Homo-oligomer: A and B are copies of this chain.
Amino acid sequence: MFEAAELGRKVDKDTFAAAEADLRRSLLEVQRRARENQLPIIILIAGVAGAGKGQVINRLLEWLDSRGVRVHAYWDETDEELQRPHWWRYWRTMPSAGSIGVMLGAWYSPSLFGRKDKSDNEQILAARADRIVNTERMLVQEGVLILKFWCHLPEKEQAKRVKQRKKDPESHWRMAPETIHYANHYKRFIHNASRLISETDTEDAPWYLIEATDHRYRDLTIGLTLLNAIGARLDAPPVSSVLKTSHAPVLPETPSARINVLDRVDLNQTLSHKLYSRQIDYWQVEVNRLSWEAFRKRRPCVVVFEGWDAAGKGGAIRRLSESIDARLYSVIPVIAPNDEERVHHYLWRFWRHVPRDGYCTIFDRSWYGRVLVERIEKFAQLAEWARAYHEINDFEAQLAEHGIVVTKFWLHIDKDEQLRRFHSREQIPYKQHKITPDDWRNREHWDAYRTAVNEMVVRTSTDHAPWEIIPANDKHLARIKVLSVFAKRLEAALDS
């Protein structure tokens, strides 16, 4: 593939100067329009050592209005990064709507230095390429423009530069210390690169292969490509969010086809107060012990609480959290996004709270809002929530791959019990704040929620992050189930 970038293309000084003034003006203009249109842009710069990636970045900072640009290099990982799923560091630095993130290497770098002779290198490359393709598609579908540039040098040219720079003390400074090491493994590097590029060169997020031997040709080509790509995107109609197929399966009109996972929950179970007192003590001690063990073994946990309004999420969360030392957990209440959150991908605000190794994050409501309230209230369009199942599964798979123990609870009550609790909340002064007009409105959508919950469970209950549907008409029973399910999952994970 790289032959096309070894053709000896050049731009002379005068041609460059003539083109540059125009290009700068136009780039600033599309940047302004992109900001107005709240378009987030990722400019990813990768390529062989010595091809001048740093120079390209300096050029972009010169040409663009640098106040709207942030440059990110991914290097020298901190323990906060190492103790979280690999993609966490990229999510931290995603550009917000209307701004430009220039990313050096980003999610491509870790794959470029794999060793060809290692037997599992090819499988690792393939798995990483898959994840990249999925994630880039997801970003593009949410409206991000991704531009990926590969700056190429032929092997001989690279060797020449390394040699030259070693000799010349004045230009040696532009070369980072490890450049030379990488240059010594050109063939391995190019093998990995060509495979990775071909597998990730998609319609959504294409690669631009740039011949980098001549720096003027390199910069001008990148500048013009940027200009065209941003301009084309701004002129094109917004990313289509029309889904061609009707999403929900058409169910035959028979009673048995209408059975929902929630119908199988036995809501008549109860637990006496006496048994409850005994069991809560037991399970809280267990959870405490296990959470310290998880800390020692550096295993993190994520716990998700979803459920009907008034199903008792708050009480269950408190019984769980009070069992854990306050230093080991955070509870994240998921309310309306703030504006920093609103200008990012909807999963961004959850990535922010992924726990470090050994710690626990409890989400009081979660990313499932996308396929529940946002679906039903039509805050998200059909295409958006329909693809969210897959996005969520991928997100949770990344958590699990890193060793995070993921537990998801749906607290289930029936419609009569909800009504009783609404009325009772209205009676108790310190519970009145818990009942709002929203709750009554949600109640009117009961059947729509039932369908949405069923689909959610069907599509996102996985081995590594199963849904636990908790019968919650009896609060005591529900709390014991939550504690015991969590304790057992954590224990199994710690023993494995």
A318 and B71 contact, Cβ closer than 8 Å, known pairs A78-B79, A104-B327, A173-B284? no
Chain B residues lying within 8 Å of A141, measured Cβ to Cβ, are: none
Least Cβ–Cβ distance between A107 and chain B, in angstroms: 16
Chain B residues lying within 8 Å of A57, measured Cβ to Cβ, are: 326
What number of copies of this chain does the assembly contain?
Answer: 2
Stretch at the interface among A61-69, A113-121, A148-156, A214-222: A61-69
Chain B residues lying within 8 Å of A433, measured Cβ to Cβ, are: 28, 32, 65
Stretch at the interface among A10-18, A224-232, A260-268, A334-342: A334-342
Chain B residues lying within 8 Å of A63, measured Cβ to Cβ, are: 430
Stretch at the interface among A158-166, A285-293, A476-484: A285-293
Q: How many residues of A contact B (CB 8 A)?
A: 60
Q: Judging by beta carbons under 8 Å apart, are A170 and B70 in contact? A: no
Q: Judging by beta carbons under 8 Å apart, are A75 and B429 in contact? A: no
Chain B residues lying within 8 Å of A21, measured Cβ to Cβ, are: 428-430
Q: Judging by beta carbons under 8 Å apart, are A330 and B80 in contact? A: no
Q: Judging by beta carbons under 8 Å apart, are B335 and A67 in contact? A: yes
Q: Judging by beta carbons under 8 Å apart, are A430 and B76 in contact? A: no
Q: Judging by beta carbons under 8 Å apart, are A327 and B73 in contact? A: yes
Q: Judging by beta carbons under 8 Å apart, are B71 and A330 in contact? A: yes
Chain B residues lying within 8 Å of A333, measured Cβ to Cβ, are: 66-68
A285 and B65 contact, Cβ closer than 8 Å, known pairs A325-B54, A326-B57, A339-B340? no
Q: Judging by beta carbons under 8 Å apart, are A78 and B76 in contact? A: no
Nearest B-chain residue to A74, judged by Cβ: B327
Residues of A390-442 whose CB lies within 8 A of B: 428-430, 433
Chain B residues lying within 8 Å of A321, measured Cβ to Cβ, are: 58, 61
A281 and B170 contact, Cβ closer than 8 Å, known pairs A61-B321, A318-B62, A430-B21? yes
Docked Cα-Cα span, A314 to B63, in Å, equals 11
Least Cβ–Cβ distance between A223 and chain B, in angstroms: 12
Chain B residues lying within 8 Å of A285, measured Cβ to Cβ, are: 169-170, 173
Does chain B have a CB within 8 A of A252? no
Chain B residues lying within 8 Å of A68, measured Cβ to Cβ, are: 333
A327 and B78 contact, Cβ closer than 8 Å, known pairs A58-B321, A67-B333, A429-B25? no
Does chain B have a CB within 8 A of A236? no
Docked Cα-Cα span, A27 to B429, in Å, equals 11
Chain B residues lying within 8 Å of A104, measured Cβ to Cβ, are: 326-327
Chain B residues lying within 8 Å of A177, measured Cβ to Cβ, are: 292
Residues of A10-69 whose CB lies within 8 A of B: 21-22, 24-25, 27-28, 32, 53-54, 57-58, 61-63, 65-68
Does chain B have a CB within 8 A of A157? no
- 11 more contacts with CB within 8 A, not counting A63-B430, A65-B433, A78-B80, are A24-B429, A24-B430, A61-B322, A62-B318, A66-B331, A67-B335, A73-B327, A79-B79, A170-B285, A176-B325, A177-B292
